[in-house]
Each structure stands twice: as C-alpha cells, then as structure tokens.
Amino acid sequence: SGLEVEQVSAWYSTEPVGCEGRFLNAAARLRCELTPSQLLQRMSEVEAEFGRQRTGHWTPRPIDLDLVAYRLWRVDHPRLKVPHPFCWSRRFVLDPVCEVAGQMLHPGLGVTFDALRARLIPRPLPVSWSGDLARNAVVEGEIQDRFGTLIRWVEPRAHHAVRFVSTEIAARGSFEIAVPDDLNESRRIVRETLTALLDEPFVANG
C-alpha cells in the first residue's frame, strides 16, 4: 500500500474546540511512498471506513485524520495545505506529534515541533493584537473571564506566542491568526484559538 507505520504516540485527552466533550488525539510517523495528495485520499478512505460523515466544522466525529507534515514539503492547494496551517497553535496537535517527531523541522517556520510546543508552555502566555476591532470589545466578558489570568497582552512588536491581526495583513508574518471586523466571528476565532493554545493535554489511561 506504500505505507509503513514507524511509531504511534499515546492517546492524549484534549480540550474540545468549538464543541462539547473532550477529544482523544494521537499522532503517527509514517514511512510513505505515496504523494501528499495520494496520502490524503487514503486518509479520507480510512475515515469513511470508520463511518466519518462530514457534517460541519468542529462537530463530533468518530475519526478525523489530518496530514500535519510531509517530509520538508510545502503544499498549497485548495484541498490540501502542508504543513497544516494551524498546527503551530494547537497543543492537541503538537503534544502527540512531539512524541513521535519532535525533532522534525516545520518547513514553513524553520524550527522543530518541539520548539513550537515550547513556545506555548509559559504562563501567562504572551499574546498581541493588531486587529481592526478594539481588542477590549472582542475579549471582554466570557473570553476575559476564562483566559484573563492565563495570557498577558504585549505590544505587537514584542515577543508573542500568537498575534491576532486583521484579515488584510494576515499571512505576512509567522504565528498570526486573522480576525475579521465582524464582532461575533472575531470572538469565536479568539476563543477557539486561545482554547487550543492554552490546552494542557494529558495521556489518557486505558
């Protein structure tokens, strides 16, 4: 089949993002003769075999397979982006990946996955804001109450784990998340990003 599993991580219990109920996440390192698009197709077939039905973003599902990285390749296609564009901001991805491929370089960011995870460990986590909307208007209330003691807001040019930026300047730099000028959508993106950044996965027993 052109695939050989070299190592599989433990199962990690992780904070749900955008839905209820904790998730289980794991990572596998493969030796692969398939192209990235062929591998994506095989992953989709496996999902279908396990009853996966694509009913929406962040919805409960029996299985969800993502291609996080493929050697040092960079792929930018409507159906496939490699490395995964948000893997750097998600502890539910980084913790299991670091177990099986921590010293692998992220080809877009030029640092190892171990280093990407280490960026998200400090508390309070440094976060900056360059969005179109006023920061306080977005984060006041639920977001401030939930995450206020876990983050500290820094100037955009200061060292930060993530910078929220307007959609017009997104993707010009590393470690950026675009937020639109719609208040409700901005709140959703900030809430989900901080949930994934600040998660502290643990190895599930059993």
What pLDDT is attached to residue 2?
A: 83
Domains of the chain in start order, with CATH, are 3-118 (3.30.70.560), 125-198 (no CATH)
**Which one is predicted more confidently, 142 or 60?**
142
Model confidence at 1: pLDDT above 80? no
pLDDT tens digit sequence for 21-74 = 889 999 999 999 999 999 999 999 999 998 877 666 656 678 899 999 999 999
Which amino acid is present at 118? A
- CA dist 203 and 182 (Å) reads 37
Over residues 153-168, mean pLDDT: 93
H-only helix segments in the chain: 36-49, 91-101, 113-119, 135-139, 142-147, 183-198
**Backbone torsion region of residue 64, taken as left when φ is above 0, otherwise alpha when ψ lies between -120 and 50, otherwise beta:** beta
Question: For the segment 166-198, what is each residue's pLDDT rounded down to a tens digit?
Answer: 987 765 568 999 999 999 999 999 999 999 999
Please give the model's pTM, rounded to 2 decimal places: 0.93
Whether the per-residue pLDDT at 125 is higher than 70: the answer is yes
